[in-house]
């Protein structure tokens, strides 16, 4: 799994945990719905730290909470 896939899955996981839709997450995070939908659909595989921070702020969690998931263990090395 790469970082983009792990981020996408983590966002979906957090939406389930908070019982909200991806569109609701976009609204409370101040991110456009198209941006978040592109991340979750896999069309955007290079989410910025700034976007992750906005998601965390919307969910009232820390960045550490966001990345505190087994999804981020053993990621593939990405060399481009």
3-state secondary structure 9-63: HHHHHHHHHCCCCHHHHHHHHCCCHHHHHHHHHCCCCCCCHHHHHHHHHHHCCCH
pLDDT over 90 (residue 80): no
Q: What pLDDT is attached to residue 68? A: 96
On the CB side of 25, how many CA atoms lie within 13 Å of its CA? 28
Helix (H, G, I), strand (E, B) or coil at 74: coil
Residue with token string 């592109």: 38
Query: Which tokens is 55 given?
Result: 């998601």
Q: What pLDDT is attached to residue 46? A: 84
Q: What pLDDT is attached to residue 41? A: 94
Q: Tell me the pLDDT tens digit for each residue of 58-76.
A: 999 999 999 999 999 988 8
Give the domains, in start order, of the chain with CATH numbers.
Answer: 3-69 (1.10.260.40)
Q: What pLDDT is attached to residue 76? A: 80
Q: What pLDDT is attached to residue 7? A: 95
Q: Tell me the pLDDT tens digit for each residue of 7-57.
A: 999 999 999 999 999 999 999 999 999 999 999 998 987 899 999 999 999
């Amino acid at each position: 799994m790469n970082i983009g896939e792990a981020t996408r899955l983590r966002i979906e996981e957090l939406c389930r945990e908070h019982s909200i839709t991806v569109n609701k997450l976009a609204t409370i995070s101040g991110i456009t719905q198209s941006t978040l939908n592109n991340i979750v659909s896999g069309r955007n595989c290079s989410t910025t730290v700034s976007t992750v921070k906005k998601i965390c702020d919307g969910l009232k969690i820390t960045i550490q909470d966001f990345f505190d998931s087994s999804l981020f263990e053993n990621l593939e090395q990405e060399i481009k």
